A and B are shown apart, each in its own frame.
Chain A
Amino acid sequence: MVQLPVPERILFLGILVAAFAAAVLGYLLRVREDVRIRRSLRIVVAWMSGLAGILLVFRAAAIRGFPLTGIFESMIFLLILLGITFIWSSLFLHHAWFASGMAWGLLVLVVLAATVAGPASTLQKEAQTPWIAIHALSMIIAGVLIVFSAVIAVLWLYSSRRLKDKRISALFGKMPSLDKLEALNLLGLQFSFVALSIGLFTGIVLAIVKSSSLNMTIHDWITDSKIVMTLLAWLIMLLTLLLKYGLGVRGKALARMTLIVCFFLVFAFIGSTLLCKSGHDFQGPPILTPEEA
């Protein structure tokens, strides 16, 4: 984070503070359901998303282009989309569990973003095609939707556990019905599958068109951790949807498979960059300030 230019560092610090505040509010909401806390949480998340948006504008100005070239920008974009998803869904999902879970999820994302934060950089010249924008956008949308789906799946599993244990008093008026949760879970999964399919297709087109200029062989592509995990996630997603519509698999199985897909996809997006070596990185050298230069 310290590598960020000063204005971006200040903005990111604001995002970090807002994320902590949101997490605290999320915890308070779990303890004491209060409309004022819920409203404050919504405002804090809106602030965080707004600051993240301004940060992306700064990055865009620095590289004079579309600011989705690196993992940091992708995470910031993910943060904005998740923030908007949260604000939108909190209008009809009035449940402390959901709001609290989302707030903590946002904090985790911001902390992870802090670990990979660095100065803005342009794409490698070879990777600069219109396909890359579609590819990056599709992948981020798929990620946001699968995270949303996973949150809903967790709520489904929790609600079902309580119903099985016959400890249901705490659920009344606090959790949506199981069929509503399942419908939302499935909706997220379906749209995520479509977005991921588009992302993979555009990625394959890019790989074919630019493989020689990007110094990546077919072997490099199919053994790259990020690509392998993304493909695995897509396959599990396909299998889940086939089982759902073919054999009528639903409920607990559907929720668990959603969580597995989410794990693979989040690991592909973030974990593989942090933990494994990936050739799926087409960032050019960082843009330096005149002083740094």
Chain B
Amino acid sequence: MRILLVGINHKTAGVAIRERLAFDAQSSIEALHTLKSEFPSAEFVLLSTCNRVECYAAVPVDADPEPDTLVERLAQLRNVECEAIRPFLYVKLREDAVRHLFTVASSLDSMVIGESQILAQVKDGYKRACECGTTGKILNHLFHVAFHVSKEIFSVTSIANRRVSVAGVAVDLAGQLFSDIRNVPITVIGAGQMGELLIEHFRHLKCTDLTVVNRSRQRACQLAEQQAIRSVPWEQLENQMIESGIVVGAATAQEGYLFSKDDFRRIMPKRRNKLLLILDLAVPRSFDPAIHDLDNLYLYGIDDLGKVIEDNVRFREGDLEQAVEILCRHVGEFMNWFEVRSVGPLLGEIQEAFDRIRNAELQKFFSGPRRDASCRDQMEASVRGVVNKLLHCVVKNIVTLAREQSPSEAERFARGILDRAHGVLNDQRDNDSRCEGS
């Protein structure tokens, strides 16, 4: 068997190309059934996400599909001209294909390193292939190892430790000020698209005390009703500042800043200097940056959050080397298994030959006067034990040879043993026939 992969991803093609080759759940199932019916001896898994479309296959050595055939069939299945996508495709074989899958499943090939969604997508793709019956011994083992590698990398390294989205960092930031963000009064200034998104995000975090303030009262009421939160008139914005723990600015100021440092010099004593976090996500900004100098008040703009994200990305990348080391180790182990398993049938043949030699020798021994010997059962068990132990030594040596040198060397060695065993069997048969003749 050989493992091959053809695919396209965000690094090789833009979204315009990727979307042409993308498979949804239903078309994936149809494609898998089609491929399996055309190439019954091969195994297939189809992975289709917004960033990649990849088809993993395990194909018998001298059988179809060849990589080119697989590309053509995938293109046909999506009604895309093969030549239109060929420049953006990559084909990977054997170890490269295995390494690529492990890299993908561990999110090391993702746009954002450490994102966990890709593992779920790989699992979905594999599950679908299992349900369609297009996987077999090779791909089953390959994907299970990929899941294990991903789990190990995620738990041992820090690649998924810090958040790398604006919303995620904002939540982390709030967590550095407030022990339970759910009970903190939050005011969102602005009922535009950004305001709405933020409200949804806070609601998702189970924040209960949410208020929206907007210049257009009607729009604020509409959004408040839609999201089941409170709305307050624009004129009461300052009062709202006194009560809130987190203020999110998502409304652009018409002239200058909405709030100056002097405004907050007045507001903070009224708040009894309680902690206040202001996230100014509007462009142009709504809050004077000098406000940040005041005690118990922390003002973060979109650029500040961006810098934190950069830091977090760098932090994640710091452990990349360790992640690659883990990955390479598992690629090696998988390839060992893969290569050794090609010697498997030969090992079965050797065992069979040894059994035949044993049976022939026993038969010869218990012929004639010893035909009804009482110790026959014990003798047979004893000889079986000796042969099995010797066979175990032979098998162990072949496996070691395959791992330490090469599978072909191990195959040659195993074949040599098998030939000698067959020679011994032939000699036995000749002797027997000569005895019978005399």
Contacts and interface: CB of A to CB of B under 8 A. Distances in A.
Nearest to A172: B172
A4 interface: no
Given A163-B298, A166-B307, A250-B274, A178 B312 contact: no
B284 to A, nearest CB: 20
A163 B279 CA distance: 13
A248 B308 contact: no
Given A175-B176, A248-B269, A169 B312 contact: yes
Contact of A177 (B162, B177, B292, B307): B177
Interface string A164-196: 101011011101111110000000000000000
Contacts of B307: 166
A152 B274 CA distance: 18
Nearest to B271: A248
A251 B272 CA distance: 11
A173 B179 CA distance: 12
Nearest to B301: A166
Interface string B156-176: 000001100000000011011
Given A163-B176, A177-B175, A251 B304 contact: no
A167 B295 CA distance: 17
A159 interface: yes
Contacts of A178: 176-178, 275
B176 A172 contact: yes
B274 A166 contact: no
Interface in B278-314: 292, 295-296, 298, 300, 304, 307-308, 311-312
B273 interface: yes
Contact of A179 (B161, B177, B295): B177
B315 interface: yes
Given A178-B275, A250-B273, A251-B295, A169 B179 contact: no
A79 B292 CA distance: 41
Q: Which of A172, A175, A176, A250 has the most CB of B within 10 A?
A: A172
Given A163-B177, A168-B308, A177-B175, 11 more contacts: A159-B176, A164-B292, A168-B173, A169-B312, A248-B269, A248-B272, A248-B274, A249-B273, A250-B273, A252-B295, A253-B295
Interface of A: 159, 163-164, 166, 168-169, 171-173, 175-180, 248-253
A166 B176 contact: no
- 7 tightest Cβ-Cβ pairs between the two chains A and B: A248-B272, A169-B311, A180-B179, A251-B296, A177-B179, A178-B177, A166-B304
A248 B172 CA distance: 27
A98 to B, nearest CB: 15
Nearest to B269: A248
A156 to B, nearest CB: 11
A250 B176 contact: no
A63 B295 CA distance: 53
A179 B311 CA distance: 25
Contacts of B296: 250-252
A96 to B, nearest CB: 15
B281 to A, nearest CB: 15
Nearest to A180: B179
Nearest to A163: B298
Contacts of A168: 172-173, 176, 308
A251 B177 contact: no
Nearest to B277: A163
Contacts of A248: 269, 272-274
A273 to B, nearest CB: 37
A168 B177 CA distance: 11
B315 A169 contact: yes
A176 B162 contact: no
Contacts of B173: 168
A231 B87 CA distance: 83
Nearest to A171: B176
Interface in B256-280: 269, 272-275
Nearest to A183: B179
Nearest to B304: A166
A250 B300 CA distance: 21
A172 B173 CA distance: 8
A248 B275 CA distance: 12
A106 B161 CA distance: 32
A164 B275 contact: no
A159 B179 CA distance: 14
A52 B230 CA distance: 58
B308 A251 contact: no
Contacts of A179: 177-179, 275
A172 B162 contact: yes
A247 to B, nearest CB: 8
B287 to A, nearest CB: 15
Nearest to B174: A177
A4 to B, nearest CB: 46
A175 B304 CA distance: 20
Nearest to A182: B275
A178 B180 CA distance: 11
14 contacts: A163-B298, A168-B176, A169-B162, A169-B311, A169-B315, A172-B175, A177-B179, A178-B176, A179-B177, A248-B274, A250-B296, A251-B275, A252-B295, A253-B295
Contacts of B272: 248, 250
Contacts of A249: 273
Contacts of B177: 163, 177-179
Given A172-B172, A249-B273, A177 B178 contact: yes
Nearest to A252: B295
A175 B269 CA distance: 27
A248 B307 CA distance: 33
A180 B304 CA distance: 24
